[in-house]
């Protein structure tokens, strides 16, 4: 018994911590099926699927979700392009100013969102820029770029440079080498970076809160609704986000495992 405990306590503690991580998710999922007794009550009252079928019931909720998705998409596209180009420069070229560039990429990840949000607000105010969709987008691209660079760079660094040499040796021009070898092999990294960028943008509150003006994204909606009483549909969105992302991750994992077994 003592031996069993000695061997398994780490795993037991680990699983309990995971339980702690999942507790709120269970609550969110549960509340998504709740018919609240009144607007400010978050206790489980009665089971209903109304929240799922009547998703856009609360005024502006679906607009906010759509706006967040749209901003997320645009920010992802821009940040992925900018970040991927930078990752290629850093992984494949020698140049002066490399450490300065690395610092420029590292700092946004090491700076609290509070500081970045207020800095941008200070800039936009000083520049007389109208706060809204555009300022949110600018901010989101900015904080996503660094994460894209790091993700894509890691993938590039893990790639055997001899594969590209082999392609060139086998009569592939630089463009063909990129198209046939480099791109297919780096693509998983770029996709992962894009997914990360989207989730960062979709979920961002602090920076957006400072720079949104009157534009309401999904996190802004939740924040505002907190004062008036959260509609249970918010929990539906939370549960759906969780489920979709989990399915995506599991699907790629299964695919990779199948690939690994074939491989």
Partner 1 sequence: MTTPETGDLRITNVTKRFGEFTAVDDLTLTVPQGAFFALLGASGCGKTTTLRMVAGLEEPTTGEIRLGDRDITRLRPYQRPVNTVFQSYALFPHLDVFENVAFGLRRRKQREVKGQVDQMLDLVQLGGFGKRRPAELSGGQQQRVALARALINHPQVLLLDEPLGALDLKLRRQMQIELKRIQTEVGITFVHVTHDQEEAMTMADTVAVMNAGKIEQLGRPAEIYEYPATAFVANFLGQSNLLAGEAAGQQGSDVLVGAYEQRFAVPAARSRTQRGPVFLGVRPEKLALVAAGAAVPAGHQSVAGVVTDSSYVGVSTQYLVRTGWGTELAVFAPNGGDAAQLAVGSEVTAHWNPQHAFLLERAPGEGDQTTPLLDSPDTVVGVGS
Partner 2 sequence: MSLLTGVGARPVGAPGSDKAERRDRRRWLPYLLLLPGAAWLFLFFVVPTIQLGATSLYDPSGSVTAGYAMTWEFSNYPDAIAYAWPQILRSFSYAAIATVIGIVIGYPLAYAIAQKAGRWKNLLLVCVVAPMFTSFLVRTLAWKTILSDNGWLVGFLRDIGLLGDDGRLLATPAAVILGLTYNFLPFLVLPLYASLERLDYRLIEAAGDLYASPTRTFFKVTLPLSMPGLVAGTLLFFIPAVGDYINAALLGNTNTNMVGNVVNSAFLSRQEPPQGAALSFLLMAIILAIVFAYVRRSGTDEVV
* Residues numbered 142-181 forming contacts with partner 1, rule: CB under 8 A: 160, 162-163, 165-173, 176, 180-181
Find residue 34's DSSP bridge partners.
47
Which DSSP category does 232 fall into?
Answer: T
CB 225 within 8 A of CB 231: yes
Q: Closer CB to partner 1, residue 172 or residue 225?
A: 172
For partner 2, the binding residues in 26-45 under the rule CB under 8 A are 27-28, 31, 42-43
With CB under 8 A, what is the number of residues at the site for partner 1? 19
For partner 2, the binding residues in 87-126 under the rule CB under 8 A are 88-90, 92-95, 101-102, 104-108, 110-116, 118-123, 125-126
Percent helix / strand / coil, the chain, rounded to 5: 80, 0, 20
Find which of partner 1, partner 2, none residue 142 binds, CB within 5 to 8 Å per kind: partner 2
Task: Give Dmax (Cα) for the chain.
Answer: 72
Please state the closest distance from residue 189 (CB atom) to partner 1, in A: 13
Instruction: Give the DSSP H or E segment for 142.
Output: helix 133-157
Could you say whether residue 194 binds partner 2 (CB under 8 A)?
no
Got the DSSP string for 240-263? Answer: HHHHHHHHHHHHHHHHHHHHHHH-
C-alpha to C-alpha distance for 160 and 44, rounded to whole angstroms: 55
The window from 52-60, 69-77, 232-240 that contacts partner 2 (CB under 8 A) reads 232-240
Find which of partner 1, partner 2, none residue 254 binds, CB within 5 to 8 Å per kind: none
Please state the closest distance from residue 247 (CB atom) to partner 1, in A: 25
C-alpha to C-alpha distance for 229 and 222, rounded to whole angstroms: 9
For partner 2, the binding residues in 55-74 under the rule CB under 8 A are none
Please state the closest distance from residue 5 (CB atom) to partner 1, in A: 41
Any long-range contacts for 26-35 (C-beta under 8 Å, 24+ apart)? 28/235, 28/238, 28/239, 28/242, 29/235, 29/239, 29/242, 31/232, 31/235, 32/232, 32/235, 32/236, 32/238, 32/239, 34/232, 34/235, 35/232
Q: Closer CB to partner 2, residue 194 or residue 222?
A: 222
Give the HSE-up count for residue 28: Cα atoms under 13 Å, Cβ half-sphere. Answer: 16
For partner 2, the binding residues in 120-159 under the rule CB under 8 A are 120-123, 125-126, 138-139, 141-142, 145-146, 149
Please state the closest distance from residue 235 (CB atom) to partner 2, in A: 7
With CB under 8 A, what is the number of residues at the site for partner 2? 98
Q: In this chain, which of 3, 160, 175, 214 binds partner 2, going by CB under 8 A?
A: 175
C-alpha to C-alpha distance for 202 and 198, rounded to whole angstroms: 6
Could you say whether residue 179 binds partner 2 (CB under 8 A)?
yes
Find which of partner 1, partner 2, none residue 116 binds, CB within 5 to 8 Å per kind: partner 2
Give the footprint of partner 1 on this chain (CB under 8 A).
160, 162-163, 165-173, 176, 180-181, 184-185, 262-263
């Amino acid at each position: 018994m003592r031996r069993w405990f000695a061997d398994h306590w780490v795993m037991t503690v680990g699983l309990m911590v995971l339980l702690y991580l999942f507790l709120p998710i269970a609550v969110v999922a549960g509340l998504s099926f709740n018919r609240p007794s009144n607007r400010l009550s978050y206790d489980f009252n009665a089971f209903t699927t109304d929240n799922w079928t009547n998703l856009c019931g609360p005024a502006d909720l679906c607009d906010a979700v759509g706006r967040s998705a749209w901003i997320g998409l645009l920010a992802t596209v821009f940040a992925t392009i900018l970040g991927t180009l930078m990752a290629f420069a850093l992984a494949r070229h020698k140049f002066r100013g490399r450490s300065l560039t690395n610092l420029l990429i590292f700092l946004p990840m090491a700076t609290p969102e509070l500081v970045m949000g207020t800095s941008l607000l200070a800039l936009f105010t000083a520049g007389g820029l109208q706060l809204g969709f555009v300022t949110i987008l600018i901010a989101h691209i900015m904080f996503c770029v660094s994460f894209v660079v790091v993700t894509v760079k890691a993938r590039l660094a893990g790639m055997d440079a001899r594969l590209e040499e082999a392609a060139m040796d086998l009569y592939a021009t630089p463009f063909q080498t990129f198209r046939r070898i480099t791109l297919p092999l780096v693509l998983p990294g770029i996709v992962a970076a894009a997914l990360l960028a989207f989730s960062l943008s979709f979920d961002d509150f602090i920076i957006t809160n400072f720079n949104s003006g009157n534009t309401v994204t999904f996190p802004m909606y939740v924040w505002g609704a907190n004062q008036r009483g959260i509609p249970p549909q918010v929990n539906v969105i939370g549960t759906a986000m969780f489920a979709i992302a989990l399915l995506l991750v599991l699907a790629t994992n299964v695919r990779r495992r199948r690939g690994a077994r074939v491989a």
